[in-house]
Amino acid sequence: MHDTDNALLGYFDTAADGFGDRLRAVPDGRWEDATPCTEWNVRQLVNHMIMGSRIYTALLRGGSSAEFMAELHRDGLDGDPVTTYRDAVAECRAAFRAAGALDRIVDHPFGPVPGRQLLGLYVVDAITHTWDLARAIRRDERLDARTVRWILGNFEWIYHGVSESPIADSNRYYGPPAQAPASDASEQDRLLHAMGRKP
C-alpha cells in the first residue's frame, strides 16, 4: 500500500459521504424494509454505520476491543438519522486526522491494527453498506469507481492479520462469497461478490 495519508483520508470522505447521500434519500415508511444484510432492516443498517463511526473514534482514542463489542449493537439512533450520522462521521473523521492517529496501534477485536489499516476497514464497510442501503431503498447503486478500485488493489493489506474477514472465509460478519462473477464483471461487482453480495 503506497498511498499518501491524504489520499487515504480522501477515501474515507468519499465512502462516508456516499452512504450519507443514500441516507438522505431514505423515504418515509421505508425504515423497516429488508436490506441485503439479512439480519438488518434499513434502520438497523443505518444504526450500524452510526455506531461504527463512534466505535472507530473510540478505538483511535485508546478504547478497547471489549468496549468495541459492548457498543456494537447499541441503538445509537437517538435523533434525526441524517444529523446523527453526520455528527458521528465528523467526529470519526477528526479522530483519523489527529496527529499520529494513522500510526497508532488500536485494539480492534479481530486483531490489533494500525490506524491506517483501521481506516481501510472503515472504507470497505462504508462502501459495501452504501450499496446495501441503495438496493434496499431502490436508489442509485453505483459506487465511487476510484474507491472500489483502491479497495480491490489493497484487499490483502486491508484485511492482513484480521481474524474475521472475507479473506479468512469468515461468514460471521461477512456473507460467504456469492456465485463467482462473470469473467467480464465490473470492478464493483467483483468487490460486491467478495463481500458476499449478489449484485
CATH of the domain at 168: 1.20.120.450
Domain assignment of residue 100, yes or no: yes
Cα separation, 50 vs 38, whole angstroms: 19
> How many domains are contained in the chain?
1
User: Is residue 117 one of the residues assigned to a domain?
Assistant: yes
Is 186 inside any structural domain? Answer: yes
**190 within a domain of the structure (yes/no):** yes
Give the pLDDT confidence of 16-50 residue by residue, as tens digits.
Answer: 999 999 999 999 999 999 999 888 999 999 999 99
Share of the chain above pLDDT 70, in %: 91
Q: Across the chain, what does the average pLDDT equal?
A: 91
Query: Residue 41 has what DSSP assignment?
Result: B
Say if 199 falls within a structural domain.
no
pTM of the model: 0.92
Whether residue 96 is contained in a domain is answered as yes
> Is 90 inside a domain boundary?
yes
Cell of 116: 491506517
d(CA 24, CA 18) in angstroms, rounded, equals 10
pLDDT at 168 over 70: no
CA-wise closest residue to 44 among 76, 21, 22: 76
User: Is 116 a domain residue?
Assistant: yes
Using the predicted structure, report yes or no on whether residue 121 has a pLDDT greater than 80: yes
Label residue 177 by pLDDT band (50, 70, 90): low
Give the domain range for residue 107: 5-194
How high is the pLDDT of residue 63? 92
Residues 51-100 have pLDDT tens digits of 999 999 999 999 988 888 888 788 988 889 999 999 999 999 999 999 99
